[in-house]
Chains A and B, each alone.
Chain A
Amino acid sequence: MSGTMKQTWSPPTDELQSVLAELKETVGACMQCGTCTASCPNEFAMDVTPRRMWRMIQFGMLDEILESRTFWFCSSCYMCTLRCPRGLKLTSAMSALKRLASLDGSRQARKNGAFYEAFMDNVETYGRVQETIMMNGYFLKRKDPAVPLAFIPMGMKMMARGKLHMPSGRQRGLLKPLFSKAREMEGGI
């Protein structure tokens, strides 16, 4: 996001408003020191740095937020939360952003969130990643028949190296309590 742009105020929906308000409260005390961004292992892949993301939240720039794929790249390593000198719950904020995006339901947001959701659903259900099932879930969520075809070369490579496992039910449901506890701790976001 280089160059200049004019800030515009588009009235978001009520539902989005309330998540946004929560987010504003979470990162309100941010003073843009950038520690989070410098700490983030996935920052290289993000289109908007975490620091700028908090800034966009402060400004209420909903459209730009939903445009971004940044929060989908958050792997919840908690490094930013650990290091934030203001003690802000930044990882939670990332999760809330993901929720915000799901609520929005626009095509762009759906695309950006699909892989993440499929992944997390899969882990929650099976207790570990079941690659084949997960990919099926992902393709379903994308609702685009061209997507699976694009993944065929990668699937072949992974198969060759023994990285694709057959579905197994041994750890099924084992992580469910963990997920629900985490939801509880993150304040239901």
Chain B
Amino acid sequence: MATTVKIQVDGNNPVLALQGFLKGLLDDESIGGILVPVHLFEKGLPMPTLVTDSAKLSGADPLAPAFSMNSAKLLARLTRGQSGERIAAVLRPCEIRAFVELVKLNQGSLDDVVIVGVDCMGAYDNLSYKTFLGDADSFQATLDFHGLIGGEADTVRNGVDIASACQSCEHPAPQNADVVIGIAGAHLHESIPVMATSARGEALLSGLNLPDIESANGRDKTLESLIAARIVNRDAMLEKTKALTGTLTDLSEYLSACVNCYNCRVACPVCYCKECVFNTDVFEHKPWQYMEWAKRKGSLKMPTDTIFYHLTRMAHMSTACVGCGQCSNACPNGIPVMELFRTVAARTQESFDYEPGRSLDESPPLSVFKEDEFQETVSHMA
């Protein structure tokens, strides 16, 4: 039975209690730093921040319903090669799953990192977060979001709801973390349950001397109903997107606002290429080529290769898509990229029986093969 402990919450402020917990972690000799979202300014997005001085944890807010970017890529950068020091990273479930994918792709390493996963109730996309904040102080807003200041926990605030990716996310609980902060179903004004989910987490928790509890009461049930609701949302979203993109023309229209800025792939945690192939010389066409293409049909949309880009990205990354929604978040023209990707990913992941982030032992589908598989893919036409 895994160790479960609790963090005592004083003054109805779980954020402060979590800061205390993180300080405790940082005080542990084995941990050199903590990557955690920190409110660097009073009214801005909390940004992933690498903290080495526990004094600087006063801005940390692991519960903020903001998701400025997927930290998986950042953590990859922190763990690639050997830094010599172990760090802890406080991550959302989708960030962990993305990070696991990156580890499989040799972009990062789990060797010297302690993953602290936090149950995720969802987050606003970057523009909506500002609306959500309104005039409130960011910490207050966080507490409000979790229903700690008057009223029920509800994701709609100031007329905005959490990102559609979060609404349809069926993974609110962290997988493959070392330590899980189980806020789902917890009485956050009293205490926060913390579970060790690996040997490394076990060792770490035992050093903190926190009081043991039986288990996180009500967490499973809360998660269950949350997931059920989100799956309903997800399926509706998939159906809707399918209907919107059923033909190539529909897809073009769906993507008509795309300006080939490639922000979606920059924001994507699993798009790990240093430089996207669409940015390389391969797509530096010659003037006469453009002319020839234009001549074939009488006109040529510039920039070119838009659908080609999106389809290629689907081919490359859809099996690793964790549905974090950062693509949509990053799109300057509001294209629902996440919806499109998740719709494709649902099919590709199912067909290879692959779930990104589920296990390090599962190789990315296109990096392996079996001799005796997918016989139906091969046609015997003659």
Chains A and B share a contact (CB less than 8 Å)? no
